[in-house]
Amino acid sequence: MSAPKVLISGSGIAGGVFAFWLLRAYRNAQITMVERAPSFRLTGASVDIRSSAIDIIKWMGVMEEVRKNSTNEKGVQMVHSNGKPIATLAATGNENMQSITSEYEIFRGALAKIFIDPVVDQLDLRFDETVDHYEQVDDGVLVTLAKSKKTEKYDLLVAADGLGSRIRGQMLKSKPKEQLWDEGVHVAYFTINKDLLQGSKFAKQHNAVGGRCMLIRPDPHPDGRVRAMFMNITTKKQTEMKKRLNDALAEGNEAYMKLMEELFHDAGWLASELLKGMRESDDFYASLFAQVRAPKLQDDRVVLLGDAGYATPGMGTSLAIMGGYVLAGEMLEHPGDVRIALENYEKIMTPFVKSQQGGLESAMQFVNPQTEWGISMRNAVMGFMTGSGLLQLGMWVASKIGFTEKKLDMPDYKWPGRESAKAM
């Protein structure tokens, strides 16, 4: 198969990385990309790059652009209602052992644009369009689009359509939400056109009882602004609150903003300014902070990529980058045999994905306690660990004895014109 014909559903990070590397493998690859939004979504929350994803962006030759578009966040400070710091979790300065703030902190939309810009002119890019349904046939997959109603045959259908992937639902013959692993966290994101950090490069977090958390993060925009978040962390017993949050999420932005106004009006700190900024923002969106645990990543000529197959808060962006690279690499290694390429992609990605999933729920409950007593205990522990230098010392010792972030065990693909990716 000298030039595979591929449809990618989704123009985000996973889809962009895969398109980049597939065109490196096959210069004449025919790639159609559909995106439900009317244009590229350049807004979005801050994301980070870790583990093998760092190597991949270096091989892509876009590290300079990533650094240039970094948020320059230096760490996260937990603060009291009066703004006084409780604990400071600083960036480590070491890409092999990063803290909660990555060495490569960047906004999701900016990162997606960096990946797709080098190849966008080589794509048949269709906005305001989605996949309605597909049908597997012997020599391809027939895909019908929702808006145009056109049906066309492809060698491969790539579902890079996110957490609620409809393609995943059809592939697994289930509702997309059935693969969601609820971590008990709901998040609202929005931009405030005011520098509430007063020039600080440290993100600031404040917790209130009831699992309520407010977070503001730096934005390098020259006019001065911040990216803000309302987080609601619920326990398994808080079924009524979880239902209210899920119902508001399903109803849309207005319903969710009204619920945030109800829940955060007495949360202290900058709550009133954040609520006002939320109403004035033009990029508000809310989502479930959840994992996707799909029982399989491929079926014949259909494959799940990135969040559609393995959304993982804290690691999802890096997994999407790795997945896009490996999928294209396996297409390179197995020309003419899409099925074997997809099977190998699944075998490589699944063990690593599983190693990264799990444990988030307990961590979120510790960092965001439900009670005043719990918040006080968290403050005491985190304040001591960071104030005494024990946390920093522990990470320094670990780095000196060779402990690094776990990396994906993947083949050293021989890309055309190069001996290996590392030679790029």
pLDDT digits (tens, 9 = 90+) for 49-75: 888 999 999 999 999 999 998 888 888
21 HSE (CA, 13 A, CB side): 29
pLDDT of residue 397: 46
Task: Find tokens 């961590």 and name the residue.
Answer: 363
pLDDT of residue 105: 82
pLDDT of residue 280: 96
pLDDT of residue 101: 63
Question: Across all residues in the chain, what is the average pLDDT?
Answer: 89
For β-strands 75-79 and 202-208, DSSP reports them as parallel
> Coil, strand, or helix at residue 254?
helix
- Written as one string, the DSSP assignment of 265-288 is TT--TTHHHHHHHHHH-S--EEEE
Instruction: Round to whole Å and give the CA distance between 22 and 26.
Output: 6
pLDDT of residue 325: 98
Over the stretch 116-146, which tens digit does the pLDDT of each residue have? Answer: 999 999 999 999 999 999 999 999 999 999 9
pLDDT of residue 71: 82
Least Cα distance to 116 among 216, 11, 205 occurs for 11
Instruction: Round to whole Å and give the CA distance between 99 and 407.
Output: 16
pLDDT of residue 271: 97
| Cα distances (Å, whole numbers) of residue 329 to 5, 269, 414 | 16, 49, 8
Return the sign of the alpha-carbon dihedral for residues 303, 306, 309, 310. positive
> Coil, strand, or helix at residue 290?
strand
Q: In what order do the strands lie in the sheet with 202-208?
A: 85-90, 75-79, 202-208, 212-219, 225-233, 180-192, 285-292
Tokens of 273: 């300014």
pLDDT of residue 102: 64
Measured between its terminal Cα atoms, the distance across the chain in Å is 25
**Contact call for residues 195 and 224 (beta carbons, < 8 A):** yes
**Contact call for residues 309 and 297 (beta carbons, < 8 A):** yes
pLDDT of residue 383: 81
**Contact call for residues 203 and 76 (beta carbons, < 8 A):** yes
**Contact call for residues 297 and 345 (beta carbons, < 8 A):** yes
Low-confidence ranges of the chain (pLDDT < 70): 1, 42-44, 92-102, 359-362, 389-404, 418-424
pLDDT of residue 398: 45
188 HSE (CA, 13 A, CB side): 30
Instruction: Round to whole Å and give the CA distance between 73 and 413.
Output: 34
Tokens of 394: 């522990």
Instruction: Round to whole Å and give the CA distance between 407 and 281.
Output: 38
Q: In what order do the strands lie in the sheet with 131-137?
A: 131-137, 140-145, 151-154
The beta-strand segments (E) located in 38-96 are: 46-47, 75-79, 85-90
Which residues have C-beta within 8 Å of that of residue 30, sequence separation ≥ 6? 3, 4, 5, 6, 124
Q: Model pTM? A: 0.89
Which residues have C-beta within 8 Å of that of residue 175, sequence separation ≥ 6? 169
**Structural domains in the chain?**
5-71+104-179+292-358+405-423 (3.50.50.60)
